[in-house]
Amino acid sequence: MINRIHYCCALALFISTTFPILSSASALDNALAPSFNALPAGHNTSYLITDTNTGERLASHNQEQLQAPASTQKLLTALAATLYLPADFQFETTLALSESNHNQDVVITFSGDPLLSRQQLAQLLKTLKQQGIRHLDGNIYLNGKVFSGNEHVAGLPWDILGVCYSAPASSISLEHNCVQGALYSNKPLGQLTRVNVPSHQPIRVTTNATIVDKTQQKAQFCELNLSAKANNHYQLSGCLIQRDKPLPLNFAVQDTVKYTADVIKKELQRTGIRFSGQVLRNDNAQGKVIARHHSKPLSELIDILLKDSDNLIADNLAKTLGRLYYDQAGNFANGTHAIKAILKEKAGLNLDNAVLADGSGLSRNNRLSAAQLNEVLTYIHQHNETLKLLETFPVADQSGTLRYRPSVRKPPLAGNLTAKTGSLYGAANLAGFITTQSGKKLTVVQLVNSYHPIERDSEKPITPAITLFEQAFYTTLYHYDFNRTPNPTVEGKAPNQPQQ
């Protein structure tokens, strides 16, 4: 952060090179201006603040500019799903029996349930034993015809494909397509790390990452790398600083069919059913259904989606919307088109110029404006009596992704900010509502893009620039006196243009 001694001069220079002069700038824009001084030069920021009850625009900057929305885009997916899907919607997984070549086959049909657990799948398999089946001599077919196309959306960097927040959006989803493990570096410097994955998990992880101290890590420009290979094999390389406690790791399943097939084989063995066939994907397989599993209802899925910013739920819901709206196998393309169409038809929201690549906001190709997100928030607020979506938003210091967000978890913001977060490399966004000290409710969209913190050599903890910005920005909003008489000498100045 710029030294406070040089605050005024530095702020004036920053403002003159960052913000164009806008004749519509308000007193609130000028009051918010100092908060932007916390951000490093080069950021690309837009915001829009309106009175939640009247819709009056109170402050804005570049509100029509398309930005990377990150997970604030989940608001669109949640709203479209709530408007279009029946209130009792649930993902369904079925187990069926069929006869072929005098053998008895099993068909498991998946619908993209993002929360289907190993235990729930095992319970379906136990139905076979209840039917008197002790030996399966046929095949087990996995039917995932409800989705088509790629399981990873375009616009994902290759280096995050192995981590769980980018797990594949597959119709055949199990255990959130994620496996937990741990990496140990509690041995002498120079030795190899040791990785541990629970024995019941059918993935393979190897490591040749070495143990170093901080000085060695810095001198070697070394970091821990993860690469995903075929057959759910993962390779760790690079280095890890020596530490007493293990480093928790999460591995995104790459081959969802193989992972599910391997789990099925293990669970059949645990159930006591001998199996001599193969587990294969066959989207045309069908049979007589003998057991069904239903997911959590839509309202609970939406609650997890928004509070925890769950990418898999968002993308599988988007594909499901594409499937049902267009009556064809769901994919990222028809899913995002369906979201736009549903929001236009049922909510009057025109998002024609928005760029939607997925339902989660994870793709770097997505683009939304602060004005568009404001319209979505306004509709949600105006129709909350029927939608019941505001209750699913994270609340500062209380729930979801805002529970531990350092910029807003302390008074006076704790409990007074309700918003969807959105974070990607270079993006830090919020979209929601704040209740001010005077009781006024504001609708706020903050899209900070091209944010890249300056690297520091100091080992002392440094408060991130985005934290300092958000603390100042939202504290100013909370304390601002909206009843004061505007100062005509500043009403015509741009956001962040200092008074003379």
Q: How far apart are CA 353 and CA 358, in angstroms?
A: 15
Alpha helices (H) in 327-402, listed in sequence order:
332-347, 370-382, 384-387
Alpha helices (H) in 308-369, listed in sequence order:
311-326, 332-347
- For residue 94, the one-letter residue type is T
CA distances from 306 to 79, 103, 280, 346, 444 (A): 11, 46, 35, 21, 17
Q: Give the CB-side neighbour count of residue 173, counting CA atoms within 13 A.
A: 28
Q: How many Cβ atoms from other residues are within 10 Å of residue 326's Cβ?
A: 16
Which residue of the set 35, 71, 148, 295 is catalytic?
71
74 is a catalytic site residue = yes
Q: Which of 483, 371, 446 is nearest to 39 (CA)?
A: 446
309 is a catalytic site residue = yes
What is the per-residue burial (b if ≥16 Cβ within 10 Å, else e) of 276-302? eeebebebebebeeebebebbebeebb
| Helix (H/G/I), strand (E/B), else coil: 327 | coil
Which residue of the set 74, 307, 319, 493 is catalytic?
74
71 is a catalytic site residue = yes
Q: How many Cβ atoms from other residues are within 10 Å of residue 51's Cβ?
A: 14
User: Which strand ranges, in their side-by-side order, compose the sheet holding 92-100?
Assistant: 279-281, 140-143, 103-109, 92-100, 288-294
Cβ-proximal residues to 320 (8 Å cutoff; 6+ apart), any chain: 81, 85, 91, 111, 112, 146, 330, 335
Q: Which of 438, 453, 420 is nearest to 484 (CA)?
A: 438
Q: Which phi and psi angles does 387 have, rounded to 5°?
A: -75, -40
Which residue of the set 60, 148, 171, 309 is catalytic?
309
Residues belonging to the active site: 71, 74, 309
